[in-house]
Structure 1
Amino acid sequence: MKLINIGYGNMVSSERIVAVVSPESAPIKRLVQEARDDGRAVDATYGRKTRAVMIMDSGHIILSSLITETLASRINGSGGSDDDE
């Protein structure tokens, strides 16, 4: 299992990520709100602005304060903060 750092010491399995999207569009805002209402949202921003939304294969939504490009580079293996198990 390959874990990536999504900010503030939080780790996520990169194999379970379906998409990393920007939180600015109305459909993504609705998706995040629905996930919050259903208890499927994990807020890993520590009170900071949400800059990326990760959609997981389980239907969960993870909010990160890192930008999408940073997360994409970590997922692709060039981030330097990845841990392999």
Structure 2
Amino acid sequence: MFGLINIGFGNVIAGDRIVAIVNPESAPLKRLKEDAKEEGKLIDATYGRKTRAILISDSNHIILSAIQPETIAQRFMQSFFEIEEQLERIRRKG
């Protein structure tokens, strides 16, 4: 369970829809990016900066980010823990 995750430059994604966060340097991922562009499923959130992470959604959309994969993963974990804390507070009240 994840909320909205900041992927840089004010762009956010629905964390629950992301299935992978990967480094874009390998040839297969470069092909994946090109295929998504041809299919109209590429979302470029880099604002012209170097792509440092590729996020793959459950709908096969490919999202490009200028933020490192490790940083995005940390934001996912932070979001998860914040939601868990809120749920725990609700459970205690009930």
TM over 0.5: yes
CA distance in 1, matches of 2:31, 2:70: 22
Which residue identity is paired with 1:18?
V
Which residue identity is paired with 2:39?
D
Aligned length: 78
User: CA offset at residue 77 of structure 1?
Assistant: 1.2
| TM-score (ref. length: structure 1) | 0.89
CA distance in 2, matches of 1:64, 1:76: 18
CA distance in 2, matches of 1:77, 1:58: 24
Q: Which has the higher contact order (CA 8 A, sep 6+)?
A: 1
Higher helix share: 2
Counterpart position of 2:28: 27
User: CA offset at residue 7 of structure 1?
Assistant: 0.3
Cα RMSD for the two superposed structures: 1.1
Q: Which segments of structure 1 move beyond 4 Å, counting only runs of 4 or more?
A: none
Larger Rg, first or second structure (1 or 2): 2
Unaligned ranges ≥5, structure 2 = 80-94
CA distance in 1, matches of 2:60, 2:30: 15
Unaligned ranges ≥5, structure 1 = 79-85
SS at match of 1:33: helix
| TM-score (ref. length: structure 2) | 0.80
CA distance in 2, matches of 1:13, 1:77: 14
